[in-house]
Structures are given as structure tokens and as C-alpha cells.
Amino acid sequence: MENVIIIGTGCAGYTAAIYTGRANLKPLILSGSMPGGQLTTTTEVENFPGFPSGIMGPELMMNMQAQAEKFGARIEYSQVTSIQKTAAGHFEVVTEDGVVREAQTVIVATGASPKHLGLPNEKSLIGHGLTSCATCDGAFYRNVPVCVIGGGDSACEEASFLTKFASVVYLIHRRDVLRASKIMADRVLANPKVKPVWNSTISEYLTDEKGEVRAVTLENLVTGEKSELELKCVFVAIGHIPNAGFLGDLVDTDENGYILQTKGTRTKTEGLFAAGDVADHVYRQAITAAGQGCAAALEAERYLAEKGVH
């Protein structure tokens, strides 16, 4: 029986592992399908405290992994498919290979996956002129045209943020009305650097000789007309999918599928904690995920002490 199983190897998962490891709980981490989480898909991370010259996303995650392992965390590269809570009060964590692992507590740090348009070369362009994080990557695109696709609050927030850097921000939306809250929509549309492109979507990414995005093919969804739009980066902001589906009734979620925490990082199921982007649609930052991972570890430790298990 494990003291704690941590699901996910992003900033929240590794931070939870560092803290539970230092508490001598010998955490077991189950990696999920994207070891290292979303930061492994970015280039330089300039806003993680402690790195004044920035640090590459993959390197930051490798450092976190090494730090977790230094304190006794074990990592298994497998995907969790379901969890049950037993009548005895512990958890059975089932992975895709059918193996069942038992644990007194579980910390869910499975993150949220940005939605993509589903175009053929899309995944290979991530980090090469295609991203889902303006806060992470906006500063790399100074004085060049960029676009945001989406019409919700995220798209508006990203577009407003990008006007600090880009020469022009095309806001490409599939309808002619933004879904975003009125205040965010009004603000973004009033910004002279934002050029809305209504009733349109991207049907193709066009790349230069280095494989970086140089333009997109726009498709007008009303007329069917196609045109080419030159730009250096596409910020995809069509929503996220929190990776919480495998938890079933063990957690309550909001209307977008994000886990609802009851107190701190606790969930409605005793002994089950949630940290990071799987429970946070507001901040979604590496450092806030790490902070929640720390909090979940401290709460798991207290829970085990109260139960007299450790």
C-alpha cells in the first residue's frame, strides 16, 4: 500500500512529489501520457521565479523530476484509467495495463490539455509558431503580426496581452459575435492593434524553410472564400479540456469539467486532492500549479497523520 500516489508530472505533480518525498512518504508518481506536462512543449520560460535569465521548459521539468527523485519519489510511466475508493477507505488506482495499485491518498495533478483545431501538421508546429500560451510565448513575437483564434475570454485576454508585443493581433473567430464577457470583448475590440477577422477559421498552417509558421490560410465560413494571412505565430485559444474524466463520481466538476476543490486542494472525496490546471481555469501558470502541488502535499501529509497512517 502506497502512502500517496501522485498522478501527473507537470509542475503541480513534481512539486507535490518533492514535498511528500521530503516528508518521507515515498510518493509514487504515475506520469500520464505527457511526461513533464505542458512546459515540455514550450521553449524558454521567463516568468518562473529563481531563473533571472530564463530556463528552457523541458530543462525546468527535468530539474523538478531530479529534485523529486532525490527525495525518494518513484516514477512509473503509465496512464491512469480509473480510480475507486474502497470500503476500507483507501484507493485502487488502475492503469491502462490493468495493474491496480493501492494508496492511502491520491493527488490528482493531471493538468488540462489545450484544445487544437485538428489540422494535419498542427501538433508538430507547437513551439514553432503555434502555441496556446500568450503569457509563455508572447514576448518572443515583438513587432510582428500574430493571430489568436477563438472568441471566448481566453482569446480576448490573450489578444489584449499580445498587443504589448506584436505589431498587429488578428483575432480570428468562427462567428461574428464574441462569446467572451462584455467587458473583455469591448476592451479587446477597442484596442487599435487588434483586428477582428469574423466568421472565419484557419484551414491550413503555412511554414517557411525552417519549418516555422509564416502564414495561415483563412477560410470564411459564410462565403467559403479562402485567403492567405501572413503572421509569425498562431495562439490557439479555443478552450482547454481538464484531464479529470477518469475520476468519475469521485470529484465534482464545474460546467467546463474542472475539478471543484472543497477546501484548499481537497475534493469531495476524503484523501483525494487536486492541484494545478486540472482544478484551475483562472491562473493556469507553472508557478501557481507548483504552489497548489505544495499545498496538496501538505494536506495529504496532514490527512495521513490524522488517520494515524503515517
Catalytic residue positions?
A: 133, 136-137
Span 181-240, contacts to ligand NAP by CB under 6 A = 201, 238-240
From 88-96, 131-139, 146-154, 259-267, give the range in contact with ligand NAP by CB under 6 A. Answer: 146-154
Q: What is the 3-state secondary structure (H, E, C) of the chain?
A: CEEEEEECCCHHHHHHHHHHHHCCCCCEEECCCCCCHHHHHCCEECCCCCCCCCEEHHHHHHHHHHHHHHCCCEEECCCEEEEEECCCCCEEEEECCCCEEEEEEEEECCCEEECCCCCCCCHHHECCCEECCHHHHHHHCCCCEEEEECCCHHHHHHHHHHCCCCCEEEEECCCCCCCCCHHHHHHHHHCCCEEEECCEEEEEEEECCCCCEEEEEEEECCCCCEEEEECCEEEECCCEEECCHHHHHHCCECCCCCECCCCCCECCCCCEEECHHHCCCCCCCHHHHHHHHHHHHHHHHHHHHHCCCC
The Cα 45–Cα 59 span in angstroms is 10
Q: Is 158 in the site for ligand NAP (CB under 6 A)?
A: no
Q: Is 256 in the site for ligand NAP (CB under 6 A)?
A: yes
For the bound state, the minimum distance from the C-beta of residue 174 to ligand NAP, rounded and expressed in Å, comes to: 4
For the bound state, the minimum distance from the C-beta of residue 258 to ligand NAP, rounded and expressed in Å, comes to: 9
Among 175, 226, 268, 302, binds ligand NAP (CB under 6 A): 175
Name which of 32 and 152 has its Cβ closer to ligand NAP: 152
Q: Enumerate the β-bridge partners of residue 55.
A: 45
From 20-28, 37-45, 151-159, 285-293, give the range in contact with ligand NAP by CB under 6 A. Answer: 151-159
Name which of 34 and 119 has its Cβ closer to ligand NAP: 119
From 126-134, 143-151, 225-233, 295-303, give the range in contact with ligand NAP by CB under 6 A. Answer: 143-151
The Cα 79–Cα 223 span in angstroms is 44
Q: Is 85 in the site for ligand NAP (CB under 6 A)?
A: no
Q: Is 153 in the site for ligand NAP (CB under 6 A)?
A: yes
Among 22, 74, 85, 179, binds ligand NAP (CB under 6 A): 179
Name which of 104 and 200 has its Cβ closer to ligand NAP: 200
Name which of 58 and 196 has its Cβ closer to ligand NAP: 196
Name which of 105 and 201 has its Cβ closer to ligand NAP: 201
Assess contact for 271 and 106: CB atoms under 8 A. Answer: yes
Which set of grid coordinates corresponds to residue 299? 494536506
From 153-161, 218-226, 227-235, 299-307, give the range in contact with ligand NAP by CB under 6 A. Answer: 153-161
Maximum distance among all alpha carbons in the chain? 67
Span 98-137, contacts to ligand NAP by CB under 6 A = 117
Q: What backbone phi and psi angles, to 5 degrees, belong to 107?
A: -110, 115
Name which of 1 and 177 has its Cβ closer to ligand NAP: 177
For the bound state, the minimum distance from the C-beta of residue 178 to ligand NAP, rounded and expressed in Å, comes to: 7
Name which of 80 and 278 has its Cβ closer to ligand NAP: 278
Q: Is 285 in the site for ligand NAP (CB under 6 A)?
A: no
Q: Is 160 in the site for ligand NAP (CB under 6 A)?
A: no
Smallest Cα–Cα separation from 273: which of 27, 59, 24, 53?
A: 27
Contacts to ligand NAP by CB under 6 A: 117, 149-155, 157, 174-175, 179, 201, 238-240, 256, 281
